């Protein structure tokens, strides 16, 4: 999928007809409820849709008690949406007829478009052009359809609605997927765990409306409280960013399962950054910056959708575990810790209160072992849980109990839930009869300890993203209005790149360009020994690979010899490369080296990669990624997220690195990349040498590639 920032924004009124229709025509309707044209009609009748339904098929006078019309021209009124249960060849002619009678939205089931070879690609191009010309909101083609579960406008042909009917009353979770099967699976799984769904949207080929268009609509939809999504790739990264940021600002979770991730990257090979910044890494960075929860699998996706329904309760990283089993309490604590949560020791005062209230219970430090005494003593659960709920050091109460015991203490748990605003999560075995009552009281129930811990860890992490996302969006808005100023030429060598970057605050060392070995020696005398000599060419990105670098030169004669050698080596290895002499550079040392680079992602635009140099990037791929712009705060976060960050903080008596100077240089490189705008292809400082704390940093090599090269 490619970057399409200039795609027109769809008409919201037409989208409203598509997603909230008061009247529906099914063109190709069938009496056979096993056929596509019959399934949707059956759903509308059996599941309680209260709008007007117009079956259209010249073969029938009526279907299931409804008048059936021979064509759209015969309809008594133009419906809000037309569902086309027709073959690919019939779609566009029928759409033209629909538009002629005033229909402004359509759903296309048919396959045989872009997924079906050259002829299908051409057919889809015609369809896209028609949608642009007319402004019709067209879902699909090659999609399962849509369903508004709140109004029961169910036009999707998924038979899962028969096995798992929509919930009574309005739902708050909108499903938005690029796979019909995943949409149906997540819906069915969610209904089994009491998730209330609002919209069920399968985008199909996205010929006319893409993922970001739907997300943009849902961000403003008052009924949508959370969006659960499955995607394989985005067409419009900027619009996705805008919609996702508005969801985060409104406190609406965006929960995404991303498939089809590739480590192939952009295909560029001139910088190390391009290899390190693969599609998977950039998508993950985008989701993190936008405050989206990224699910690991469909079950995790469903669990997060379920947990999002408890946002009225406060939550945080400090979890206290109360269990009927010491072993399960310990296992729960391990799983919660692995999910990034804290299971802190309860204070002595809280432990004393627990012992005073229930002397016969087991451990009280955290986990709290309520033991089998729950079988014999009424009020024990309330005494324990009420004390935990009153503890200022507790953010979440996590309970393990069998279904039988949970039913036994349900009244006590409901009483505690009524007294606290803290999130209460229960992992249970079996199916407790008290589930509906507990859910109504605001208690989250999970069928498995591991699933509960994993979902809670992701959810609590999402709660912490509001401020960082808002800060990044503010930074993005400010950067978009910044003037670029002077831009380097298309054929930019290392020296020119450094000089330009220094104008934005990227620190560089003493260096000079020399056309001859003798000039190089004079430059070295002026800079001071030891020095480095490099071949200077805009066409040679990796100078060491052509023998174009000499280090640690201690006198003028060594510099003369090195200058002649690096040029000769480069000419032999790359005779076509342009030669601009040599670069004489002061030799420098420090605590560590960083690689800092920017590449242009085809979906999201410029993205930064930061990593520790050497084996940490080459072997371990120990890198952090962010979409631009990046400020100093974000740069520090990137550095601290690296596994090798301890090497910068005085590990085993080594001197600490100047992290603040490194962060400032990273932010300056971001500013430079933003100034280049659409001209930027790749930019890299490799290495960025970081000296001891308080002594700064320096860019030892730099590369800028523009789209003109």
For the domain that residue 531 is a member of, what is the CATH number?
A: 3.30.1490.20
Find out whether the peptide bond into 334 is cis, omega within 30 degrees of 0.
no
Same domain, 404 and 520: no
CB-based burial label for 279 (10 Å; 0-12, 13-18, 19+): buried
Confidence of residue 553 (pLDDT cuts 50, 70, 90): very high
DSSP E strand boundaries for 244-388: 254-258, 293-294, 319-323, 368-369
Which residue stretches of 464-606 are H helix? 466-480, 494-502, 517-527, 556-573
Predicted local distance difference test score (pLDDT) of residue 668: 97
For Cα atoms 177, 180, 181, give the angle at the middle one, nearest 5 degrees.
Answer: 110
Region 155-165: mean pLDDT is 95
Cα separations (Å) of 410 from 93, 401, 435?
60, 11, 9
Mean pLDDT across the stretch 212-219?
96
For residue 116, name the pLDDT band (cuts at 50, 70, 90): confident
Please say if the pLDDT value at position 178 is more than 90: yes
Secondary structure tally for the chain: helices H, strands E:
24, 29
pLDDT band, residue 554 (cuts 50/70/90): very high
Residue 417 is part of a domain; what is its CATH number?
Answer: 3.40.50.261
Domain boundary pick from 564, 586, 608: 586
Same domain, 67 and 179: yes
Question: Taking a C-beta distance cutoff of 8 angstroms, is the pair 24, 83 a contact?
Answer: yes
Confidence tier at 277 by pLDDT (50, 70, 90) = very low
Structural domain ending residue among the three candidates 260, 276, 303: 260
Tell whether 396 is covered by a domain: yes
Q: Determine the structural domain holding residue 526 and report its residue range.
A: 510-586
Ordered DSSP codes for 631-667: -HHHHHHHHHTSGGGGGGBTGGGPPBB-HHHHHHHHH
Strand-pair partners of 607: 599, 627
How many Cβ atoms from other residues are within 10 Å of residue 271's Cβ?
Answer: 24
**Distance of alpha carbon 243 from alpha carbon 3, whole angstroms:** 16
**Angstrom distance (rounded) from CA 501 to CA 701:** 11
265 band by pLDDT with thresholds 50, 70 and 90:
very low
Helices (H), 193-292: 211-220, 237-249, 272-276, 279-289
What is the pLDDT, as a whole number, of residue 481? 55
Residue of 687 and 275 predicted with greater confidence = 687
The helix-helix angle for 632-640 and 659-676 (nearest 10°) equals 120
Residue 101 and residue 167 share a domain: yes
Q: Are residues 89 and 148 in the same domain?
A: yes
pLDDT in tens, 92-108: 999 999 999 999 999 99
3-state SS, one letter per residue, for 393-410: CCCEEEEEEEHHHHHHHH
Q: Which residue has the higher pLDDT, 304 or 614?
A: 304
Residue 528: is its pLDDT beyond 50?
yes
In the predicted model, what is the mean pLDDT of residues 214-231? 96
Structure confidence at residue 706 (pLDDT): 86
Q: What is residue 2's predicted lDDT score, i.e. its pLDDT?
A: 33
- The pLDDT value recorded for residue 118 is 92
| Res 486: pLDDT | 57
Averaged pLDDT, 520-537: 97
* Mean pLDDT of the 355-378 span: 83
Residue 227 in tokens: 């969006």
Distances 398 to 36, 105, 222, 367, 394 between C-alpha atoms, Å: 45, 47, 31, 9, 10
Q: Is the pLDDT of residue 276 over 90?
A: no
Which residue has tokens 């008409």?
Answer: 11
| Cα gap 683→609, rounded to integer Å | 10
Show the tokens assigned to 524. 């070295």
* Mean pLDDT, residues 461-467 taken together: 93
Does the residue 707 lie in any domain? Answer: no
275: pLDDT strictly greater than 80: no
Please report whether residue 226 resides in a domain: yes
Residue 709 has pLDDT above 80, yes or no: no
Contact (CB, 8 A) for 41 and 26: yes
> Can the peptide bond before residue 42 be classed as cis, meaning omega within 30 degrees of 0?
no
Q: Is 183 exposed, middle or buried (0-12, 13-18, 19+ CB in 10 A)?
A: buried
Peptide bond into 687 cis (omega under 30): yes
Q: What is the pLDDT of residue 163?
A: 94
Q: What share of the chain is helix, strand, coil (3-state, %, to 5)?
A: 40, 20, 35
In a domain, 5, yes or no: no
Q: What is the CB neighbour count within 10 angstroms for residue 172?
A: 18
Assess whether 209 and 337 both reside in one domain: no
Whether residue 642 is contained in a domain is answered as: no
389 three-class SS: helix
**Structure tokens belonging to residue 437:** 């009552």
Domain end point (choices 567, 586, 605) = 586
pLDDT recorded at residue 375: 66
Structure tokens at 479: 């950067």
Reported as a pLDDT band with limits 50, 70 and 90, residue 652 is confident
Q: Same domain for 357 and 228?
A: no
Angle, vertex CA 663, rays to CA 657 and CA 669, nearest 5: 130
On the 0-12 / 13-18 / 19+ scale of CB atoms within 10 A, 529 is middle
The label of the residue with tokens 């839930």 reads: 417
- Residue recorded with tokens 């001859």: 516
User: What is the model's pLDDT at position 362?
Assistant: 84
The confidence score (pLDDT) of residue 8 equals: 63
108 and 175 in a single domain? The answer is: yes
C-alpha to C-alpha distance for 66 and 582, rounded to whole angstroms: 84
Mean pLDDT of the region 503-528: 96
Element at 703 (helix H, strand E): strand 702-706
Say whether pLDDT at 667 is over 80.
yes
- CA distances, 92 to each of 124, 128, 144, 150, 312 (Å): 9, 10, 18, 30, 47
- 206 to 45, 104, 471, 607: CA distances (angstroms): 28, 17, 32, 25
Cα–Cα distance measured from residue 66 to residue 75, given in angstroms and rounded to the nearest whole number: 13
Residue 518 covered by a domain: yes
Per-residue model confidence (pLDDT) at position 482: 55
| Rounded distance between C-alpha atoms, residue 308 and residue 197, angstroms | 12
253 and 126 fall within a common domain: yes
Specify whether 61 is located in the same domain as 208.
yes
User: Who has greater pLDDT, 622 or 38?
Assistant: 38
- Mean of the per-residue pLDDT values of the chain: 92
Number of folded domains that form the chain = 3
Find the mean pLDDT for residues 450-461: 97
Task: Specify if 51 maps to a domain.
Answer: yes
**705 assigned to some structural domain:** no
Residues 215 and 122 both lie in one domain: yes
- List phi, psi (to 5°) of 45: -80, -45
Q: Is 336 in the same domain as 447?
A: yes
Buried b (16+ CB within 10 A) or exposed e, 395-428: bbbbbbbbbebbbbbbebbbebbeebebbbbbbb
564/455 same-domain check: no
The predicted structure's pLDDT at residue 508: 96
CATH number of the domain bearing residue 28: 3.40.50.720
């Amino acid at each position: 999928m490619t970057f399409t920032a200039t795609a027109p924004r769809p008409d919201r009124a037409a989208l409203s007809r598509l997603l909230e229709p008061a009247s529906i025509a099914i063109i190709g309707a069938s009496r056979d409820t096993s056929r596509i044209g019959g399934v949707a009609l059956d759903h509308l009748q059996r599941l309680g849709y209260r709008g007007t339904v117009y079956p259209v098929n010249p073969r029938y006078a009526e279907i299931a008690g409804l008048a059936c019309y021979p064509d759209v021209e015969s309809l008594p009124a133009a419906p809000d949406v037309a569902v086309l249960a027709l073959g690919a060849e019939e779609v566009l002619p029928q759409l033209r007829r629909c538009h002629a009678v005033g229909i402004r939205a359509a759903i296309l089931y048919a396959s045989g478009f872009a997924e079906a070879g050259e002829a299908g690609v051409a057919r889809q191009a015609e369809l896209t052009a028609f949608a642009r010309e007319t402004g019709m909101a067209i879902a699909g083609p090659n999609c399962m359809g849509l369903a508004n579960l709140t109004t029961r406008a169910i036009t999707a042909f998924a038979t899962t609605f028969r096995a798992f009917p929509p919930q009574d009353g309005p739902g708050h979770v909108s499903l938005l997927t690029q796979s019909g099967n995943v949409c149906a699976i997540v819906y069915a799984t969610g209904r089994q765990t009491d998730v209330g769904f609002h919209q069920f949207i399968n985008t199909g080929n996205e010929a006319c409306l893409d993922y970001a268009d739907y997300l943009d609509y849902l961000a403003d939809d008052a009924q949508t409280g959370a969006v659960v999504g499955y995607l394989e790739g985005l067409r419009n990264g900027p619009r996705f960013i805008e919609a996702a940021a508005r969801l985060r600002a409104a406190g609406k979770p965006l929960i995404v399962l991303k498939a089809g991730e590739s480590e192939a990257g952009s295909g560029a090979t001139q910088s190390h950054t391009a290899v390190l910044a693969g599609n998977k890494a950039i998508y993950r960075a985008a989701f993190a910056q936008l405050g989206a929860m990224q699910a690991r699998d469909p079950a995790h996706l469903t669990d997060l959708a379920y947990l999002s329904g408890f946002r009225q309760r406060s939550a945080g990283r400090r979890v206290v575990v109360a269990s009927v089993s010491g072993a399960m309490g310990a296992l729960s604590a391990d799983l919660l810790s692995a999910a990034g949560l804290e299971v802190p020791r309860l204070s002595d005062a809280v432990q004393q209160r627990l012992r005073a209230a229930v002397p016969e219970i087991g451990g009280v430090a955290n986990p709290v072992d309520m033991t089998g005494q729950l079988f014999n003593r009424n009020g024990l659960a309330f005494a324990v849980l009420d004390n935990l709920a009153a503890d200022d050091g507790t953010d979440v109460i996590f309970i393990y109990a069998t279904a039988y015991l949970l039913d036994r203490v349900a009244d006590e748990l409901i009483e505690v839930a009524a007294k606290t605003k803290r999130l209460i999560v229960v992992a249970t075995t079996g199916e407790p009869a008290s589930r509906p009552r507990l859910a109504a009281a605001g208690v989250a129930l999970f069928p498995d300890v591991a699933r509960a811990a994993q979902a809670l860890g992701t959810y609590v992490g999402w709660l912490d993203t509001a401020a960082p996302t808002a800060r990044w969006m503010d930074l993005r808005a400010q950067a978009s209005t910044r003037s670029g100023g002077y831009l380097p030429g298309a054929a930019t060598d290392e020296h020119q790149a450094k000089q330009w970057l220094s104008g934005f605050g990227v620190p560089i060392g003493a260096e000079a360009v020399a056309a001859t070995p003798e000039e190089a020696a004079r430059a070295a005398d002026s800079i001071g020994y030891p020095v480095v000599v490099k071949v200077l060419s805009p066409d040679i990105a990796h100078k060491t690979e052509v023998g174009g670098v000499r280090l640690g030169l201690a006198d003028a004669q060594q510099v003369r010899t090195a200058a002649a050698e690096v040029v000769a080596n480069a000419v032999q290895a790359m005779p076509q490369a342009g030669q601009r002499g040599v670069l004489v550079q002061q030799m420098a040392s420090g605590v560590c080296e960083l690689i800092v680079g920017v590449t242009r992602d085809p979906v999201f635009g410029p993205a930064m990669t930061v990593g520790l140099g050497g084996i940490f990037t080459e072997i371990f791929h120990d890198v952090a990624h962010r979409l631009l712009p990046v400020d100093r705060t974000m740069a520090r976060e990137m550095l601290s997220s690296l596994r090798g960050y301890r090497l910068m903080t005085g590990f085993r008596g080594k001197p600490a690195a100047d992290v603040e100077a490194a962060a400032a240089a990273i932010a300056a490189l971001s500013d430079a990349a933003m100034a280049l705008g659409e001209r930027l292809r790749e930019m890299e400082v490799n290495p960025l040498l970081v000296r001891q704390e308080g002594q700064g940093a320096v860019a030892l090599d730099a590369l800028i590639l523009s789209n003109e090269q």
